[in-house]
Amino acid sequence: MQQEALSCRMSGAAGEPGAPGAITLEDLDSMAEEQSPDSAYHSNGCSQDEDAEQERLLSYWQSVGRGHQVDVPGDMAEPIQQLTRNNQHQERESIPFTLIHRKEKFGEVLYEKRHYGKAKWACIKMHEEQYEQSICLGFMKLMKYICEQNSSGLYLGMTIPIVTLVHTNETHSELTRSVTVAYYLPELLQDQPPQPYDSDIIIEEWPPTVVYTRSFRGVTNEDSIMREINFLGELLESPELCLQNIFIVAGYTNPAAANRHNEIWFLQRP
């Protein structure tokens, strides 16, 4: 795959509760578990109840944000409410792939080789001072796009994983500040993706791609990502077949969970 086509790749990066990190859609899971049965998404739909529910959800996210050293603006209230409600009633669509090969040792999966087909993605490039800030700000913009702020005026549906394209410096010793957060358009929207109102979000079609991927558990931050990049590089028989300074971090589960599910992806050269 050409490096230009990779400019908008795949995230779910966050710190542990109380430490710097990014808020992701999965934070809504724990929020929903805390809601009582008589909360507003089970209410009679009165505008007063709607407003109260938005305030409760926004307050929760702002509280989470403070723990991650991130500000959640007031205009996120409606997208957060929409996403929370839909998360309770819809299954998340997984990005489809074909498994080519699985490398195992003593029953442990060391890595998988997968083929991902051509697909359209909503992407946003970020370049904040901190990695976590870039992920969070980019993700909140994508949330608005998913939650009706698009040309269809509809909730688009959640897909997993949310992915982040990350770059390493010339010496491969650390991540650069430039990241791209991307959302896979659901299968039903692939032919005609709704256009975002936010001009920072770009719809791109990525060509078919072969990736080498390894799962890992726990937090996703600069240190853990670099550790996993180096580890997978040591496991691969021919790492030179992959791009050397562009990688993907994929997040599947709640960043507040103690045993979070993530993956690191190496991209095979075209």
pLDDT in tens, 170-212: 888 899 989 999 999 999 999 999 999 999 999 999 999 999 9
> For a pLDDT cut of 70, what percent of the chain falls above it?
77
> For a pLDDT cut of 90, what percent of the chain falls above it?
49
Length of the chain in terms of residues written: 270
Residues 1-11 as b or e (16 or more Cβ within 10 Å = b): beeeebbbbbb
pLDDT at 68: 62
Residue 138's pLDDT band, with cuts at 50, 70 and 90, is: confident
> In the beta sheet, which residues pair with residue 167?
246
Residue 12's pLDDT band, with cuts at 50, 70 and 90, is: very low
Condensed to tens digits (0 to 9), the pLDDT of residues 73-115 reads 788 888 878 877 776 656 789 999 999 999 999 999 999 999 9
Using alpha carbons, list the distances in angstroms from residue 156 to 50, 81, 121. 21, 14, 13
Kindly report the CA angle at 190 between 188 and 193, in degrees rounded to 5? 100
pLDDT at 40: 33
Lowest mean pLDDT among 1-5, 104-108, 128-132, 211-215: 1-5
Q: Is a pLDDT exceeding 90 seen at residue 165?
A: yes
Topology (CATH level 3) of domain 5-17+92-268: Multidrug-efflux Transporter 1 Regulator Bmrr; Chain A (3.20.80)
pTM of the shown model: 0.78
